[in-house]
Amino acid sequence: MQKRKAGADELIALIIEGIEEVKGLDINLLDLRAIDNTVCDYFVICSGTSNTHVNAIVNSVQKIVSKAAQDKPWHVEGSDNAEWVLMDYVNVVVHVFQKQAREYYDIEGLWGDAKVTLVESSYNS
C-alpha cells in the first residue's frame, strides 16, 4: 500500500494544529507562490517563549503531521540551541523562533512581497 502525501492546505492545517496544541505564539502564514525563484510555496512562522517551548512546538508539529499524514520533515535544523528551528516539509517550511531571534531575523520583512495571513488563536491576546 502506497502512503498518501498530504496536500499543502492539509499540511499547513496540521502544522498549525501542532503549534496551537502547545500554545505557540504569533502564527503567520506567508504565501510565497507569487514570488519568483522561491525554495518553497509557504512559510509558517511562529514564536515560543523559551528553548524548551520552541522544542515542544517542533515536537508537537512533527508528532501531529506524522500521525495524521504519515509525513515527516525532509530536514530539521536549529534544535540544538532552539532559538530558531527550521522544519522543511519541502513545499512548506516551518520557522519556530524565540521572540528576540524572530525580531532580529525579521523573516516577514525579508519576504515583504509575500501574502501574509495572521492565524488567530483563541489563547493569543
Overall fold of domain 8-119: Beta Polymerase; domain 2 (3.30.460)
Greater confidence (2 vs 29) lies with: 29
The number of beta carbons lying within 10 Å of the beta carbon of residue 51 is: 15
- Reported residue count of the chain is 125
Instruction: State the DSSP string of 15-39.
Output: HHHHHHHTT-EEEEEEE-TTSTT-S
SS3 of residue 49 by DSSP: coil
Per-residue model confidence (pLDDT) at position 31? 97
pLDDT tens sequence across 63-74: 999 999 999 999
Q: Could you read off the pLDDT of 12-46 as tens digits, one per residue?
A: 999 999 999 999 999 999 999 999 999 999 999 99
- Separation CA 80–CA 13 (nearest Å): 26
